[in-house]
Structure 1
């Protein structure tokens, strides 16, 4: 009888795990934001796209968001774009994700691709994406000739919509090379979700006060309060989009022994 009972309990637990693999685990042990970021703008908008930078490249090295050569690596993989004013948003649009597709040119595949905003398209109007050659060519039908022909077109009509980013990694904080204990500057990278970072706050070790940081340029924020800051630092981010706000805290993400020009990873994402 005991053996039969144990067998029945095993079958119930096995079925629970099969249907819901998270059944026996704490929800907090998973970064579930990757699964929940399904928001997107349901309306496709019309715009136009050009391209810049070298063939098969990632646009320009650096760019107005300050990401540097990370745009060539995973998860950006050169699939980036410079955006016009309403997309770049004076840098607050840095790291935002869009679906882009072209349908009117005969070389277009009609399939959408995801691009990340990493640069500013100076002087560009509403709905203008200045794509890296890699992302521009990815809009074409398969085959080298189609990609080359689309590149040769120069400017094409597109459709686009905002989507939630899903980088499958935690948020990174890169300290600026000019940062110091009196004037702290940090760049934010790989934030998930639908919306832009509208507020960044910093808390020193041993303090309960959150200091509001100021937006500097691109994806960089700074704090200077007239005294030396006491590390480690916790950073709180507020993301706003689609009428909703989300807040996340990266506790002691900048260690006591922090150095300028280094990347520090949080334990979570939006």
Structure 2
């Protein structure tokens, strides 16, 4: 089916067609209603990058079971890294693979298209709860020619190998840290950083899963405190050594348990 090309580096999103399905109660653990399309090609190469900042999803460990979320689900990046179990609503569409489900990770934003209505191309327009899934993930629950299907979804814990990963960027005057490979809730609510020569200081979300501190921390070993969206905090002492350079990644030996 037709796909329009990406229009912005951070928003590699494509849409397909559907009717509006309102969200149901149950976002706290039950099933909710939504819709889903797919993008990115058979190898999911078109899903790389994205509004969470994960870059190559192969390298960062998120693979091809991923999705771009409409803005009510994306929550200005607060949902980056969250995992959702999605199943096609077989009672509402002939294109569903009955009894099949897939767990996808939120890695991108599916932006609204207010130039068209929700029934004529604005599949990610609020208040629609929509998953624009990587094609390999989509094909686990629906037929390719379906294009768009009604789905049922729920949050589910993220399972990860190894510890939380920190990738350093910025300049001598600030640091921008991409936090990935987060298990449990998958998403991060708050972060603080302490240098070996500085006091502990809160970080703020710059965009997606990137957190910033407006302080020069080069040459210092860095300790991070990371709070997930479930309210649990882990502290990783000196996970980034004093000799770190911009562009390097460091994986901790610590991980969230749920």
> TM-score, structure 2 length as denominator?
0.77
Q: Aligned-pair distance for 1:75?
A: 4.0
Q: Aligned-pair distance for 1:228?
A: 5.3
Q: List gaps (5 residues or longer) in structure 1.
A: 1-39, 141-149
Matched ranges for 1:82-97 at <5 A = 82-97=68-83
Residue in structure 1 matched with residue 98 of structure 2 by the alignment? 109
Q: Aligned-pair distance for 1:237?
A: 0.6
**Residue among 106, 115, 120 paired with 2:109:** 120
In 2: Cα distance, 1:260 partner to 1:63 partner = 21
**Residue among 191, 197, 208 paired with 1:218:** 208
In 2: Cα distance, 1:103 partner to 1:214 partner = 38
CA displacement, residues 194-243 of structure 1 (integer Å, 9 cap, x when unaligned): 26311110001044x31011111111011114x555510101111123xx
- Higher-helix-fraction structure: 1
Aligned residue for 2:171, secondary structure, equals coil
Matching of residue 42 in structure 1 with residue 29 in structure 2: yes
Q: Does the Cα contact within 8 Å between 1:96 and 1:165 map onto a contact in 2?
A: yes
Residue in structure 2 matched with residue 51 of structure 1 by the alignment? 38
Change (3 A) 1:224 1:73: closer
**Residue among 47, 63, 84 paired with 1:98:** 84
Matching of residue 256 in structure 1 with residue 246 in structure 2: no
Residue in structure 2 matched with residue 204 of structure 1 by the alignment? 195
Matched ranges for 1:25-174 at <5 A = 41-69=28-56, 71-72=57-58, 75-104=61-90, 105-106=93-94, 107-123=96-112, 124=124, 125=126, 126-140=128-142, 150-174=143-167
Q: List gaps (5 residues or longer) in structure 2.
A: 1-26, 113-123
Aligned residue for 1:72, secondary structure, equals coil
The number of residue pairs the alignment matches comes to 214
What stretches of structure 1 move > 6 A for 4+ residues in a row?
none
Change (3 A) 1:110 1:74: farther
CA displacement, residues 139-197 of structure 1 (integer Å, 9 cap, x when unaligned): 14xxxxxxxxx222111100000011111221100112xx1232111100011112631
Aligned residue for 1:159, secondary structure, equals strand
Residue in structure 1 matched with residue 181 of structure 2 by the alignment? 190
Q: Aligned-pair distance for 1:268?
A: 0.6
Q: Does the Cα contact within 8 Å between 1:186 and 1:220 map onto a contact in 2?
A: yes
Pairwise CA RMSD: 2.0
In 2: Cα distance, 1:44 partner to 1:73 partner = 31
In 1: Cα distance, 2:141 partner to 2:45 partner = 15
Change (3 A) 1:92 1:42: closer
Residue in structure 1 matched with residue 19 of structure 2 by the alignment? none
CA displacement, residues 22-70 of structure 1 (integer Å, 9 cap, x when unaligned): xxxxxxxxxxxxxxxxxx953111100011111232542211111111x
- Structure with the greater alpha carbon radius of gyration: 1
Q: Aligned-pair distance for 1:86?
A: 2.7
